[in-house]
Amino acid sequence: MEEKTKKYSAPALEKGIDILELLSKDSFPLNTATIADRLGRSSAEIYRMLLVLEQRGFISKDEEHEGYRVTRKLLQLGSEQEPIKDLLEYAIPIMRALADKTTMSCHIAVESNEQIVVISRIEAPSTISYSVRVGYRKPIIETASGRVLYTFQPDSAKERTIKMLQKHHSDAEIKEFVADCKKVLKQGHVMSPSPFVTGVTDLSMPIMDGDRAIATLSVPYIQRKPEEVSINDTLAMLKEAAKNISDAITYGIAKPL
């Protein structure tokens, strides 16, 4: 018997989700008129949705820029799921030890559709440091974490990622990204100048669960004068920390760094 597929509609819910997705992808606060224009809605209906989302704590008003931005509430809800909760439970003490020994900050990022999102960070115990805030998002194709996450996946997962990326990037960009990932596979890590911050070298390693990377552990390395810990020593300690987190996820035992 032929099965009929039904499409259900919940306009208010869809508007709310559209707003959250739009604000999540834009790092700059957006005002009501801009949100309405981008979503093809009236300012009046968007305004009502913004009030509700703000009251529930999903977005907040940025008075300085007269716009709205997403809060960490969605990220907090996601981190309460068992896989992420377990990952952070094992990772936090190892990350603290890594930051102490390298005198650099470190952070964990995971995939979020065509982007990466930072879900945890540990600040450096130093007066001069650089760190990436929790909730930071960037396209997979533009980041060290994105290259690591793609590289250490089964072929079937890579195919799904490429299909997703094709909706957002040109063939030339994807070709360059895949070529870079082949280099990452040979090296086992990323060590490259940050494309966003001059003077920062991105160091990134996979956190593995079986045959796939479920997250990345990264250090934004800055060269201080005098140098406290070399970049090669930092990379070696990052590698050990990522392995310890991976082993903890696989075997349930967290080793100190």
| Matching fold, domains 11-71 and 76-251 | no
Fold of 11-71: Arc Repressor Mutant, subunit A (1.10.10)
| Interval 111-136: pLDDT, tens | 988 889 899 999 998 888 899 988 88
pTM: 0.72
Q: Domain ranges in the chain?
A: 11-71, 76-251
| Separation between Cα atoms, residue 144 and residue 216, nearest integer Å | 9
Element (H, E) at 97: helix 82-102
Which of the listed CATH numbers 2.60.40.10, 3.10.310.10, 3.30.450.40, 3.30.70.240 matches domain 76-251? 3.30.450.40
β strands within 31-143, DSSP E: 59-62, 67-70, 106-112, 115-122, 137-139
Q: Is residue 147 scored above 90 in pLDDT?
A: yes
| 81, 83, 88, 94 alpha-carbon torsion, rounded to 10° | 170
How much is the pLDDT for 4?
Answer: 45
